Structure 1
Amino acid sequence: MNATETIYHVDEIKNLSDRELYQRLYESWNITNGEIKIWGRLKLRNDGRWASIEEVRTTTENREINYPLDEYIKLDPYIYVEYAKQILGDNQSIFIKCSLSLSPERERIRHNNPFQMAVKIGSVEILESIPINKNDILESDCESYIAKAIYNFELSKLTKDIVKKEIALQESLKSLEAKKTQEDIEINKLAKQKSILEENSSQLKSDIDIQNKKLITAIDQHEKEIQKMSKKIEKLKSYIAEKAIFLKKFEFIDDDDFDEISINIVPEFNKIETLSFSSDFNLDYKQAVFYIQSYLKNMDILYPRHIIENYLTLIRTNDLIILAGDSGSGKTNLVQSFAKAVGGVAKIIPVKPNWTSSEDLLGYYNPLEKKYLATPFLEALIEAQNNPDIPYFICLDEMNLARVEFYFADFLSKLESRDSNPEIQLYSDDESAHIFSELKAVVTVISEAEKKHSQDGIIDFIKLVQNENINSEMKRIFGFSEKDSIIKYHGDIRRMLSGVIRTPSKIKMPANVRIIGTVNIDETTHYLSPKILDRAHIMKFKSPLLSDWQSISSEIESYGFENVSKSLHFDINDLGIREAYPRFDNEDKFCQIFIDLNKEFFSPLGVEFGMRTIRQGLNYLKLFSDLNENNEQAINNFIIHKILPKFTFDGNKQSGNQNKLDLIDKVMLPKLENIIRTHNLITDEFSSVVALKNIIANARANDGVVNYWA
């Protein structure tokens, strides 16, 4: 250590930020490029649990460096032992070149050394041996001398490798010749097996053809039944359309129903000028996020960029999204404001505490009134179906006021269909056939009565029933007694017709619909069941009062958008296509990470985690990459959405040799920090590492009870 270096006491620097600590090191070690690059000897420590670098020198000046502390602490940057073993191979020690960074804060505290350094994973280069005498080399020549030494070493190693490979090649040739005879024997065996397999394949093909024919026959029969039912409905609608003027004249339908069936009017929304995602933004999702965030700020609504890019990605998954957080944290507002920003429609459906079945969500057919009683949720689906080019965001507000698995599970099962938009059967197609038969009889009777008594000026239903002759004749034909009311019967027919016109017997889930739920977790609400958590993405919010508004505003100003008064129109397909999740690939890095996490932690903790969850994660990663290339950020988000919300268990229970709380604190937390190496760069609000730390701290303060929602 040079005499000119500034020496610090631990107490003097322990409260400095990481940035300030780096600055002290740069000044002490004469580093000007903002990167600490060193070389030295990599060795395993005696206990075999850690490895470190000895004889540390800078690569620019070939200068030996140590920590600038008055209590002398030797600079021996540590490196994770498994990674070190991969580099060392069979060697006891080797020379390496690498970059350094500050160790995690907990390590610096544990060693009482604010300057504690660690090797950056992925920065290591093997040097083998660097014969440099700093007294013989000018500082200005040091870097080139090191490069030359590396070149000579690589050349020597390459020459040795070529010799080894030549020897190995000769041995391989001898081995191949020795095996040739044995392989010829194996080929003959395989040829015989191939013949047998071909015979079996032929028989199997024949069996498959037979089964296919049976299946095709069954499908044809099923399609005929569907066509038969559909024809009944079309026949009724066609008849209604044909008799529309007559039905309106006699008040069986109102003006709105008449317009819908006679000229097929679809409700139109006010045409407003918008920007196009495809033509104005060239399908650039990253720029779209910047614009939407700016658009919302123009409406005095501030959200961090992370929330917008995460929410847009979830919208594109076509999965159920659940926004969780305290009351007033901006959950419902996000649904409404985002819908406005993309030229869509937000439908907020309040959930009632007395909802117990799917009928509370979708409605039901009343056989007494012969009419389907629709709900606001179903009406929103039908409206969306009639406006297929407009995105609809249907929000079940405070969805956990009732038990979600009671009223929503059947509908959620329908949403699991990824090959096509799921179809929802509301009531039997035969009901429409009964209505058609009854309506036809009524129309025939009234038409004949109208013709017979046309000289009396029969122009509407009231005039019709006021005519005593017609009234008596209709009662006789329908078998009514004097107590029966033709006016009441007319009202029944009117309600039946309105139901058929406005509510189809079945509806396909419109491609332009996204389902979102909001939840508050308190003593008045129910927890979400594992079945719901397994199929949904949880996006948690904090109070907007805790946000750094100035930072968000500065971020938005940096985008440079000036005119943000127009909404940004997306084609429906650009907001996500309902398609099968990506296939599970055992070799994929993401799959490997979560296979290991499941074996080491999720299964021992009793946290349900299956193949579908991994495939949902693969889909999320693929879509998130369009907005943000940071793969670790995507993994971080996935853990918050799909893993941590399932952390509700007794941490005092044993899992192997330790309790569950210690398992996540002492083993899982360091593992997660290693997987998400850039977690220090992620805002605390959106960090899975910080979220897990909070879970652990809350559990320690709550008798070991682990609860993500607490």
Structure 2
Amino acid sequence: MSNTDIIYSFDVVKDLSDAEIYQRLFDSWGITNGKIEVWGELVDPQTNKFINLHKVRLIAGNQTINYPLKLRHGIESGIYVPYDYAKALLNTKLRVWVKCELVLSPLKERQKHNNPFELTVKFGSAEVLQALPINFDKSQLIEGDESSYIVKSIYDFHMANLQQELAAAEQKLQQDLNQITSKKDELIASIEAEQQQATNQIINEHNSKKQLAELELVKVNKALAQTEVALSELQQEKSALKLNTQKLSSELNQRQNELNSLKVQYKEIQLEMAKKIEKLKSYIAEKAVFLKDFEFIDEDDFDSFIFDAVKERDTTEMVSFDEVFKGDYKLTVSYIQAFLKEQGILYPRHVIENYLTLIRSNDLIILAGDSGSGKTNLVQSFAKAVGGVSKIIPVKPNWTSSEDLLGYYNPLEKKYLATPFLEALIEAQQNPEIPYFICLDEMNLARVEYYFADFLSKLEDREKTPEIQLYSDDESAHVLSELKAVVAIISEAKEKYSQDGLVDFVKLMQDEAVNAEMKRAFGFSDKDSLIKYHGDIRRMLAGVINTPSTIKVPANVRIVGAINIDETTHYLSPKILDRAHIMRFESPLLSDWDSIFDEVKGYGFDDVSKPVLLDAEALGIRESYPKFERSNEFCELFIDLNREFFHKIGVEFGMRTIRQGLNYLALFKDVNSDSELAINNFLLHKVLPKFTFDGNKSIGDQTKLELIERVLTERLKLQLPNHENYSDVFCAVKALETVVRDAKANDGVVNFWS
């Protein structure tokens, strides 16, 4: 699939102006600076007068490009370069790598080739590459990958330059030697002529001429000695270059050998681990059969011992994100919107862009809106669109601690009492290939900071996978120790009375001799019931098997909250707001349905009946937030806003929030290149929800309410010049204006949630 998102018909573009043609190309290739800057390989075929640029990639983003028009021969066939200009760049070589700017070919050529978009290399813009024009990590190269070929080509280019320089040095040296030899011959001839002339002169002049000749000869010998020294130095440089080349080749071979050695070690480790796992499965299987025969575990628990509990994900009826969409999140958003529309579910594109970006952030997401505005429906429909599972967990008003969310261990029954939330986590752990979206519905019916704070603190750790201790490991150790004793006593009783054929616990107890031996071994009286004790052990064992003492939050899980704001609910505390993203909703009845239909129609998908195959990694990796850098434009903006406004009105705004914003902006670029919209969304997610204070309090010569009305609002308008194009509920400027208007009607009390 081409990475060009837009394909036009010829009739649509054939009569467009050059400026319009350029704009179509910019839109298609995601170009924002008004220049088509590329790099590629200039190749002289030596068979004709045409020299073309091949393997063309954009410098910004390093993506390959093609004309947004169905053509037999596109950019992959090469871009024309004026012959004399190309020859000058090649400089006797057959191929070089260059970066340059592309411009539209003359109109006559475009009409001739029936391609309104045809491009050529701008004269004077090309520059021969000495290194890759992009950041490139050689350690990530895969053998046979095109990038590997590019790096090798540039390496060959440098080696060819070095060889040319060496050849030129040797040629110059030979010329110097020839000149010196010629000069020497000429000088000797001159001396001999002078000597011959001196013999014909007066005898008393002969000695003087001879001395002069000898002095000249000394000078020549000295010059020859200096030349020999220079030649020796050049030979040493040549030897050093040769040794350096050999050293590089040796290091390359050494690295290759190390890589091969690591591959062998990895295979050996895999083999060793496979053997250990087989031994472990065999041991567990042996014990599991005994426990099943004597009804200490049921069929489901037995299967979890013997067979792999992890289910394989059925991907046959799914569209591959990697193979079909080539990892393109913009195209994926288009497909998801079209898929949901086909299901009768309508969301504007920007809602899906925002939600997918928040999902990939691995932060807590809280969906806020009126009842019926589509909050839980978004969780369920999005899960369906990506082949995932949604779990809606209703929050009860009486929840006061983490036990209400995760359950608790009952020491009397020696069993952990799990909740639907914990069961959803365990189910997700057993199906790591499937995305799970767990939604706490009406999250603020109870105080979130009471029942969710501990869990939220675990989610804050971005360095490692969050792990939750459900109960003490001593409890499970006690159960397993008691079970071990029971197994040993049953085995001894069976062996003592030769009852190996009995594998049913009830039938074993019906044997009087075995029953008496069992009670004696356990220290039970006749009044004690072995059947009841068997039931207690079975219940305790089921608890240990089904609920581990600790559980890690699986990488395929995303936690989402849904809240309504009314008189029956609680406001979110600053601790929750500081760690979560608030995504507001409006009723679907208020959406512009015609606009949504036009958006979907413009994508041009033929079939949108299958969900997208997105794995946990594609939905976002849990990693540290980007580092705070004062020189970063986003950091500078929010440092200024914090100093001028947020701190003055008492709104908490820390380093973590800015780093969350950097993470959001980096992820949002994958679905939309509009950085202004990303900042607008971040203000709605992280800043405005904290606006709950008394606006009548003074700050200098004005009140807090006057500061945000007269100054902050105008500052945001300048920062977001396109805010008028956003719908009211999704626009930070309009949301702030609404907050001000409501505060004036409420005695100056500022409340984002009112």
> Deviation per CA, 1:131-186, whole angstroms, max 9, x where unpaired?
xxxxxxxxxxxxxxxxxxxxxxxxxxxxxxxxxxxxxxxxxxxxxxxxxxxxxxxx
Partner SS, residue 649 of structure 1: strand
1:647 to 679, 691, 700: 691
Corresponding residue for 1:303?
Answer: 347
Q: Which runs of 5+ in 2 are unaligned?
A: 1-18, 21-277
Which residue type is aligned with residue 294 of structure 1?
Answer: A
2:574 to 510, 513, 530: 530
1:434 to 475, 478, 483: 478
1:177-326 equivalence runs, <5 A = 241-268=285-312, 272-326=316-370
Corresponding residue for 1:423?
Answer: 467
What CA distance in whole angstroms lies between the structure 2 residues aligned with 1:535 and 1:405?
11
- CA displacement at 1:604 relative to structure 2: 1.1
Corresponding residue for 2:38?
Answer: none
1:591 to 635, 639, 660: 635
Corresponding residue for 1:362?
Answer: 406
Q: Is the 8 A contact 1:260 1:266 kept in 2?
A: no
Corresponding residue for 2:669?
Answer: 625
1:329 to 344, 349, 373: 373
Which residue type is aligned with residue 336 of structure 2?
Answer: I
Corresponding residue for 1:116?
Answer: none
Partner SS, residue 575 of structure 1: coil
What CA distance in whole angstroms lies between the structure 1 residues aligned with 2:300 and 2:539?
14
- CA displacement at 1:678 relative to structure 2: 1.5
Partner SS, residue 605 of structure 1: coil
Corresponding residue for 2:551?
Answer: 507
What CA distance in whole angstroms lies between the structure 2 residues aligned with 1:316 and 1:539?
14
Q: Is the 8 A contact 1:236 1:436 kept in 2?
A: no
What CA distance in whole angstroms lies between the structure 1 residues aligned with 2:348 and 2:736?
21
Which residue type is aligned with residue 630 of structure 2?
Answer: N
2:421 to 364, 377, 382: 377
What CA distance in whole angstroms lies between the structure 2 residues aligned with 1:486 and 1:460?
13
What CA distance in whole angstroms lies between the structure 1 residues aligned with 2:367 and 2:441?
10
Q: Is the 8 A contact 1:421 1:508 kept in 2?
A: yes
Q: Is the 8 A contact 1:237 1:501 kept in 2?
A: no
Partner SS, residue 618 of structure 2: helix
Q: Which runs of 5+ in 1 are unaligned?
A: 1-32, 35-233
Q: Is the 8 A contact 1:582 1:615 kept in 2?
A: yes
1:666 aligns with 2:710: yes
- CA displacement at 1:313 relative to structure 2: 0.3
Q: Is the 8 A contact 1:584 1:614 kept in 2?
A: yes
- CA displacement at 1:473 relative to structure 2: 2.2
- CA displacement at 1:270 relative to structure 2: 5.4
> Deviation per CA, 1:617-639, whole angstroms, max 9, x where unpaired?
00000000111111110000000
1:480 aligns with 2:524: yes
Q: 1:409 to 1:631 in 2, by over 3 A?
A: same
Corresponding residue for 1:696?
Answer: 740
What CA distance in whole angstroms lies between the structure 2 residues aligned with 1:423 and 1:455?
46
What CA distance in whole angstroms lies between the structure 1 residues aligned with 2:649 and 2:615?
43
Q: Is the 8 A contact 1:381 1:509 kept in 2?
A: yes
Larger displacement relative to structure 2 (398-407 or 649-658)? 649-658
- CA displacement at 1:370 relative to structure 2: 1.8
Corresponding residue for 2:612?
Answer: 568
Q: 1:238 to 1:490 in 2, by over 3 A?
A: farther
> Deviation per CA, 1:191-222, whole angstroms, max 9, x where unpaired?
xxxxxxxxxxxxxxxxxxxxxxxxxxxxxxxx
What CA distance in whole angstroms lies between the structure 2 residues aligned with 1:255 and 1:439?
18
Corresponding residue for 1:637?
Answer: 681
Partner SS, residue 573 of structure 1: coil
- CA displacement at 1:555 relative to structure 2: 1.6
Larger displacement relative to structure 2 (524-533 or 474-483)? 474-483
> Deviation per CA, 1:94-148, whole angstroms, max 9, x where unpaired?
xxxxxxxxxxxxxxxxxxxxxxxxxxxxxxxxxxxxxxxxxxxxxxxxxxxxxxx
Which residue type is aligned with residue 353 of structure 1?
Answer: P
1:558 to 602, 606, 611: 602
What CA distance in whole angstroms lies between the structure 2 residues aligned with 1:461 and 1:513?
41
> Deviation per CA, 1:201-260, whole angstroms, max 9, x where unpaired?
xxxxxxxxxxxxxxxxxxxxxxxxxxxxxxxxx999987543211111111000001111
> Deviation per CA, 1:588-607, whole angstroms, max 9, x where unpaired?
11111111111111111111
What CA distance in whole angstroms lies between the structure 2 residues aligned with 1:357 and 1:236?
38
Partner SS, residue 574 of structure 1: coil
Partner SS, residue 558 of structure 1: helix
Corresponding residue for 1:404?
Answer: 448
Larger displacement relative to structure 2 (605-614 or 544-553)? 544-553
> Deviation per CA, 1:355-395, whole angstroms, max 9, x where unpaired?
11111111222222222222111111111111111111111
Partner SS, residue 669 of structure 1: helix
What TM-score comes out, normalization by structure 2 length? 0.62
Corresponding residue for 2:645?
Answer: 601
Q: Is the 8 A contact 1:339 1:346 kept in 2?
A: yes
What CA distance in whole angstroms lies between the structure 1 residues aligned with 2:554 and 2:467?
9
Partner SS, residue 671 of structure 2: coil
Q: Is the 8 A contact 2:296 2:538 kept in 1?
A: yes
1:494 to 516, 538, 547: 538
Q: Is the 8 A contact 2:694 2:748 kept in 1?
A: yes
Corresponding residue for 2:204?
Answer: none
Partner SS, residue 647 of structure 2: helix
Q: 1:452 to 1:475 in 2, by over 3 A?
A: same
Which residue type is aligned with residue 661 of structure 1?
Answer: L
What CA distance in whole angstroms lies between the structure 2 residues aligned with 1:704 and 1:465?
79
What CA distance in whole angstroms lies between the structure 1 residues aligned with 2:485 and 2:354?
58
- CA displacement at 1:271 relative to structure 2: 5.4
- CA displacement at 1:465 relative to structure 2: 2.1
Structure with higher Rg: it is: 2
Which residue type is aligned with residue 317 of structure 1?
Answer: S
Which residue type is aligned with residue 517 of structure 1?
Answer: G
| CA-based RMSD | 2.0
Which residue type is aligned with residue 413 of structure 2?
Answer: E
1:541 to 581, 585, 588: 585
Which residue type is aligned with residue 583 of structure 1?
Answer: K
Percent identity, aligned pairs only?
71
Which residue type is aligned with residue 673 of structure 1?
Answer: K
What CA distance in whole angstroms lies between the structure 1 residues aligned with 2:509 and 2:372?
57
Which residue type is aligned with residue 705 of structure 1?
Answer: V
Partner SS, residue 644 of structure 1: helix
Q: Is the 8 A contact 1:362 1:375 kept in 2?
A: yes
Corresponding residue for 1:4?
Answer: none
- CA displacement at 1:459 relative to structure 2: 3.3
Which residue type is aligned with residue 404 of structure 2?
Answer: D
Q: Is the 8 A contact 2:313 2:433 kept in 1?
A: no
What CA distance in whole angstroms lies between the structure 1 residues aligned with 2:728 and 2:482?
66
What CA distance in whole angstroms lies between the structure 2 residues aligned with 1:331 and 1:538?
12
Alignment size in residue pairs: 479
What CA distance in whole angstroms lies between the structure 1 residues aligned with 2:518 and 2:737?
79
- CA displacement at 1:455 relative to structure 2: 5.2
Runs of 4+ in 1 over 6 A off after TM superposition: 234-239
What CA distance in whole angstroms lies between the structure 1 residues aligned with 2:301 and 2:661?
46
- CA displacement at 1:264 relative to structure 2: 3.0
Which residue type is aligned with residue 668 of structure 1?
Answer: L
Which residue type is aligned with residue 561 of structure 1?
Answer: F
Q: 1:574 to 1:459 in 2, by over 3 A?
A: closer
What CA distance in whole angstroms lies between the structure 1 residues aligned with 2:383 and 2:441?
15
Partner SS, residue 303 of structure 2: helix
What CA distance in whole angstroms lies between the structure 2 residues aligned with 1:451 and 1:670?
88
Corresponding residue for 1:104?
Answer: none
